[in-house]
Amino acid sequence: MGIVRCLSPAGAPINLSVRAGALTLIEENVRPTTFTFDDAGRLLSAFVDGRTYRRSLANDVLEKTAGPRPGLSHRSRRLLERDEVERLEQRAYQFAADVAGWLAAEAARDKRPDSVHDRNRALEALARVATYSFARLEQERETFRAIYGRVPIMPPDQYMALALQATEGCSFNACRFCGFYRDRRFRVKSPDEFRQHIARVKAFLGRGLSLRRSIFLGDANALLLPQPALMAVFDALHEAFAFEPARDAKSDRPCMAGVYSFIDAFSTARKSRDDFAHLAERGLRRVYVGLETGDAALLKFLGKPNTPQDVADLTRRLKQAGVSVGVIVLIGAGGRAFAAQHVANTIELAREMPLDAGDVVYLSELIDYPGSEYAEAAAQAGIEPLSVEEIEEQMRAMRAALRRPARAGPLISYYDVREFVY
């Protein structure tokens, strides 16, 4: 990574961070401003006037603010309106153009050899940024939709992964609390169609692909495919990408750290340890399973067709096969009626699972989508939702009980589904 510095005409220090796959521009001021672009020139994120922004490939922008009070539940997350998106992007690209001019002027004055290389890299990156604008990003919005439709959700550690849809939608799509896939029919892509999908995604991202270091195989449960069909999917991935640790210096295939995917504990119940071991040999590194709760009664109320023990059994097979696991727990599920048993039984079950330092337990606050079956069922059952303070307390209790000595247990992390844009 190289750091290049220059000054604005007003004397404000400007830092340019040039690293593999991205360029970050930082104006050091009373209220610092930061813009990050991918290697193609697309705006990725921004920090402006004390607010954080993340832009999706569909040119949606998520605004993140801390909220009126401390605590995770008070965080504010919203998608900007189209006119707000345009203003933010115009500001970002105008700032990049200004920085390019200031840096070029400084380059004309400063010919020291030790500063030429990094400065030239920065100027080349800024030249690629200059090929973009709000209008071009809006055009790419339509291209993205033609390729993906949309990408409903991914785990937090995979937000910057390369999403590839071997399947679309969710084969079950009946969990009461989940609205991510309600608007799409479950569909499996044929091998040829999946290869075409990969090619279109790579062409769309161009140089921006260099920032994507892993593959997320979507949508909801691609791993339910019969083993021969699933191996064909991995064959297509290996045709298009190289995978660590094996690197072929002569290959022009982008190198990925591995394949990650959601999994469920019911449609994949017949997959054996050996099935998962074969996938691990082909690059499967981690799968994410919605435990939701360790309480059987609450799980049934949530509309899940499996038992909590099914998740524990699946976790054992995966770990024996050399695949790490991300376990998702719903905080606040079942409201006050289920609160005590939800916490106690989830902690008990999670402690039984063979989770180690390579795994993650995600604590995800239940976000009730408009018109959800969960809200209707909870109202009919007279279930009162937890208050913000009770949700925070449930999260603290889960985190404290599941924490293990460093390097011995899984990472315990927060998963705010409102933060996802792709």
Secondary structure (H, E, C), the chain = CEEEEEECCCCCEEEEEEECCEEEEEECCCCCEEEEEECCCCEEEEEECCEEEEECCCCCEEEEECCCCCCHHHCEEEECCHHHHHHHHHHHHHHHHHHHHHHHHHHHHCCCHHHHHHHHHHHHHHHHHCCCCHHHHHHHHHHHHHHHCCCCCCCHHHCCCEEEECEECCCCCCCCCCCCCCCCCCEECCHHHHHHHHHHHHHHHHHHHHHCCCEEEECCCHHHCCHHHHHHHHHHHHHHCEECCCCCCCCCCCEECCEEEEECCCCCCCCCHHHHHHHHHCCEEEEEEEEECCCHHHHHHCCCCCCHHHHHHHHHHHHHCCCEEEEEEEECCCHHHHHHHHHHHHHHHHHHCCCCCCCEEEEEECCCCCCCHHHHHHHHCCCCCCCHHHHHHHHHHHHHHHCCCCCCCCEEEECCHHHCCC
- State residue 250's pLDDT score: 58
Are residue 256 and residue 369 in the same domain, yes or no? yes
- State residue 162's pLDDT score: 98
Residue 290 lies inside a defined structural domain of this protein: yes
Are residue 163 and residue 27 in the same domain, yes or no? no
Q: Which residues contact 277 (CB under 8 A, 6 or more apart)?
A: 320, 321, 322
CA-based end-to-end distance of the chain: 25
Q: What percent of the chain has pLDDT over 70?
A: 96
- Range 392-396 average pLDDT: 95
- pLDDT digit string (tens) for 189-208? 999 999 999 999 999 999 99
Are residue 123 and residue 191 in the same domain, yes or no? no
Are residue 185 and residue 280 in the same domain, yes or no? yes
- State residue 106's pLDDT score: 85
Q: Which residues contact 76 (CB under 8 A, 6 or more apart)?
A: 63, 64, 65, 66, 67
Residue 183 lies inside a defined structural domain of this protein: yes
Phi, psi (rounded to 5 degrees) for 177: -90, -5
Domain that holds residue 35: 2-137
Gap between the Cα atoms of 184 and 169, Å rounded: 6
Are residue 241 and residue 338 in the same domain, yes or no? yes
Question: How confident is residue 112, by pLDDT bands cut at 50, 70 and 90?
Answer: low
Gap between the Cα atoms of 45 and 214, Å rounded: 20
- State residue 212's pLDDT score: 96
Is residue 318 predicted with pLDDT exceeding 80?
Answer: yes
Is residue 73 predicted with pLDDT exceeding 80?
Answer: no
Is residue 60 predicted with pLDDT exceeding 70?
Answer: yes
Residue 359 lies inside a defined structural domain of this protein: yes
Contact predicate 350/291, CB 8 Å = yes
Is residue 140 predicted with pLDDT exceeding 80?
Answer: yes
- Range 367-379 average pLDDT: 87
Are residue 164 and residue 131 in the same domain, yes or no? no
Is residue 385 predicted with pLDDT exceeding 70?
Answer: yes
Gap between the Cα atoms of 321 and 34, Å rounded: 43
- Range 207-227 average pLDDT: 96
Q: Hunting for tokens 């080349």 — which residue is that? A: 124
Final residue of a structural domain among 137, 165, 197: 137
Residue 280 one-letter amino acid: A
Indicate the average pLDDT of the chain.
93
- State residue 71's pLDDT score: 63
Quote the distance between the C-alpha of residue 395 and its chain's center: 21
Overall domain count for the chain: 2
Are residue 128 and residue 155 in the same domain, yes or no? no
- Range 389-402 average pLDDT: 95
Q: What percent of the chain has pLDDT over 90?
A: 84
Residue 143 lies inside a defined structural domain of this protein: no
Residue 97 lies inside a defined structural domain of this protein: yes
Contact predicate 291/308, CB 8 Å = yes
Is residue 219 predicted with pLDDT exceeding 70?
Answer: yes
Residue 144 lies inside a defined structural domain of this protein: no
- Range 265-281 average pLDDT: 95
- State residue 368's pLDDT score: 82
Are residue 244 and residue 383 in the same domain, yes or no? yes
- State residue 107's pLDDT score: 80
- pLDDT digit string (tens) for 230-255? 999 999 999 999 998 765 655 688 99
- Range 88-99 average pLDDT: 98
Are residue 350 and residue 373 in the same domain, yes or no? yes
- State residue 256's pLDDT score: 96
- State residue 64's pLDDT score: 94
Residue 47 lies inside a defined structural domain of this protein: yes
Are residue 199 and residue 93 in the same domain, yes or no? no
- State residue 371's pLDDT score: 74
In terms of Cα–Cα distance, which of 282, 363, 268, 352 is closest to 318? 268
In terms of Cα–Cα distance, which of 127, 133, 64 is closest to 101? 127
Gap between the Cα atoms of 210 and 241, Å rounded: 12
Higher pLDDT, 73 or 186: 186
- State residue 249's pLDDT score: 54
Final residue of a structural domain among 83, 116, 137: 137
Residue 142 lies inside a defined structural domain of this protein: no
In terms of Cα–Cα distance, which of 167, 201, 204 is closest to 184? 167
Higher pLDDT, 18 or 30: 18
CATH number at residue 156: 3.20.20.70
Gap between the Cα atoms of 231 and 215, Å rounded: 15
Final residue of a structural domain among 137, 172, 204: 137
Question: How confident is residue 1, by pLDDT bands cut at 50, 70 and 90?
Answer: low
Are residue 168 and residue 34 in the same domain, yes or no? no
Supply the pTM of this predicted model. Answer: 0.94
- State residue 407's pLDDT score: 74
Are residue 127 and residue 164 in the same domain, yes or no? no
